[in-house]
Structure 1
Amino acid sequence: MKYILLILSSLFLTVCSQTISILSPTSGTEITPGQDVTVQLGFANSLTGVEHVSAVIAMINCAGAPCPSDASDTLGIPLFAGNYTPELHEGNLPPYQNFTVTVPSNLAAGTNMLTAAHFVLIGVSAVPVLQFDNVTVSTPSSAGTRRETSIRGRTVLV
């Protein structure tokens, strides 16, 4: 019994030390609805065998209400779903991959949440693990921004 507990606790510590993280944008970053933003997903270096299966990047539209404490129940509006293949770039950052996604144009002004989910197989026995991370981002009020629209066949700024 002690042997099984030792194996389970070591597996738990291994999985906890290897997690997905949103490196960019950082919490509090201002993003503009309808614009592209680069999301940088990092994964810590590991001595344990890791096979990245996929990642999902999404946005929770908090619509003026408090954002959830985490994104494990819902990811929100999917912005990307597909392969995740982090690579080592700079020496001071973990291996990462950049994704360019478009911020939903109907995103509410105020605080919203950028979420990431990562499915990975860890270890020789390929233990399946689903991980989550999130950051809160700021969305400016549309009152201060100008956009083009067409009125009676003429393009005007509103």
Structure 2
Amino acid sequence: MKSIFLLASLAACALAQRLHIAEPTTGQVVGAGQYFTAELHMDNTLSSMSQKSVTIVATACYDVCDSPDQWGPGTVLYNGSFAPQYNASAPQKGLYQDFRVQLPEGWPAGESVLAVAHQFTVGASEIPVFDYTTVHFNVTDPENPGN
């Protein structure tokens, strides 16, 4: 019975430490082949936590953006360490990290999805947790902004 309560409390801790994509925002326009900022925020936590990594992936979803099971393979824009920090000059941001990433040249215009997979450990026994979040953004062709 104690193990059920332990698992439930660990799950609650993991959910409380969710990662959020602050930028790009839903519907934000990004140019194909252009650099943009992926700003990732972490909720505050009372338990011990060790950041491991994040993977930032973009996927052109064409006309099936509401059906993730139909999205094609994504393009990895960043895969590596995640070390969110507080910035005294922007305390309203809380715990965050910015990543400068680039959409490849020739990326199709229209709606795309930015997905972030986040791995970290929680507690003294370092229980592994995997978090996943997405945001939809729009892509334009910088050479033909009408598309």
Runs (5+) with no aligned partner, structure 2: none
Structure 2: distance between partners of 1:79 and 1:66:
21
Q: 1:23 to 1:69 in 2, by over 3 A?
A: farther
TM-score w.r.t. the length of structure 1 is 0.82
Q: Indicate conservation of the 8 Å contact 2:44/2:95, yes or no.
A: yes
Shift of 1:103: 1.0
Runs of 4+ with deviation above 4 angstroms: 68-71
Runs (5+) with no aligned partner, structure 1: 147-158
**1:98 maps to what in 2?**
98
Structure 1: distance between partners of 2:127 and 2:72:
23
Structure 2: distance between partners of 1:40 and 1:75:
22
Q: Indicate conservation of the 8 Å contact 2:30/2:139, yes or no.
A: yes
Q: Indicate conservation of the 8 Å contact 1:43/1:95, yes or no.
A: yes
Q: 1:12 to 1:22 in 2, by over 3 A?
A: same
Q: Indicate conservation of the 8 Å contact 1:110/1:141, yes or no.
A: no
Q: 1:15 to 1:43 in 2, by over 3 A?
A: same
Q: 1:141 to 1:116 in 2, by over 3 A?
A: same
Count of residue correspondences: 143
Q: Indicate conservation of the 8 Å contact 1:109/1:142, yes or no.
A: no
- Partner letter of residue 58 of structure 2? M
Shift of 1:124: 0.8
Shift of 1:5: 1.6
Shift of 1:106: 2.5
Q: Indicate conservation of the 8 Å contact 1:58/1:75, yes or no.
A: no
Shift of 1:68: 5.3
Structure 1: distance between partners of 2:73 and 2:80:
15
Q: Indicate conservation of the 8 Å contact 2:60/2:72, yes or no.
A: no
Q: Indicate conservation of the 8 Å contact 1:70/1:134, yes or no.
A: no
Query: What RMSD, in angstroms, separates the aligned Cα atoms of the two structures?
Result: 2.2
**1:126 maps to what in 2?**
126
Structure 2: distance between partners of 1:46 and 1:61:
34
TM-score w.r.t. the length of structure 2 is 0.87
**1:32 maps to what in 2?**
31
The structure having more radius of gyration, on CA atoms, is 1
Residues 24-103 of structure 1: pairs in structure 2 closer than 5 A: 24-62=23-61, 64-67=62-65, 69=67, 76-89=74-87, 90-103=90-103
Q: Indicate conservation of the 8 Å contact 1:54/1:120, yes or no.
A: yes
- Partner letter of residue 13 of structure 2? T
3-state SS in 1 of match to 2:114 = strand
Deviations, residues 51-75 of structure 1 (Å, cap 9, x unaligned): 001111110122x22125559x987
